[in-house]
Amino acid sequence: MTAISAEIKKLLTQTNLVVFPEDYIAVYLPTGIKTIPGEWFRPDTTRFAAVIQEPKLITMIVPLRKWLRMQNMFEKYDVSGPLKAITFDVKLSLVAGAFRVTIASALADANINSIPISSFKRYHVVVPKADLPRTVKVLRKLFDSGKKKPNGKSRKS
């Protein structure tokens, strides 16, 4: 991995890792389907979900339990999972792109497949459930690397 700038290191040390407890699934639907139920996106019942519509495909990341209840609404679909969703709880600034690249590079270097998802204020990754323990270990090591002084000694809190 390339050297990490001081600004990104500072962001990494300020980042709280949030792993949602629910299992998720990636659902691939053709366009022209029935309306996607609003229940899937109600904040009081859904902590995390994503929908991406492209010209010939709709991709959704939704809680597995919701998909299992409603999958019979759709005639054609493909799925991938189970997955886990991780949010990086940090106030991002204009260096958000470099922050995302740093996270993606660390996961790729560890051979962890991930789906990056960015919202206006947060960055998220979705990883295979089986890779979650290793993912958390890699990310915590990355976050801790921002706390070390150049000579390798940790700062005292």
Summarize pLDDT for 41-100 with one digit per residue, the tens.
777 778 888 988 888 888 999 999 989 988 888 888 999 989 999 998 887 766 677 788
User: Which class does domain 6-145 fall in?
Assistant: alpha beta
Summarize pLDDT for 137-150 with one digit per residue, the tens.
999 998 887 666 55
> What's the CA gap between 148 and 154, in Å, rounded?
4
Exposed e or buried b per residue across 120-156, where buried means at least 16 C-beta atoms within 10 angstroms of its C-beta? eebbbbbbbbebbeebeebbeebbeebeeeeeeeeee
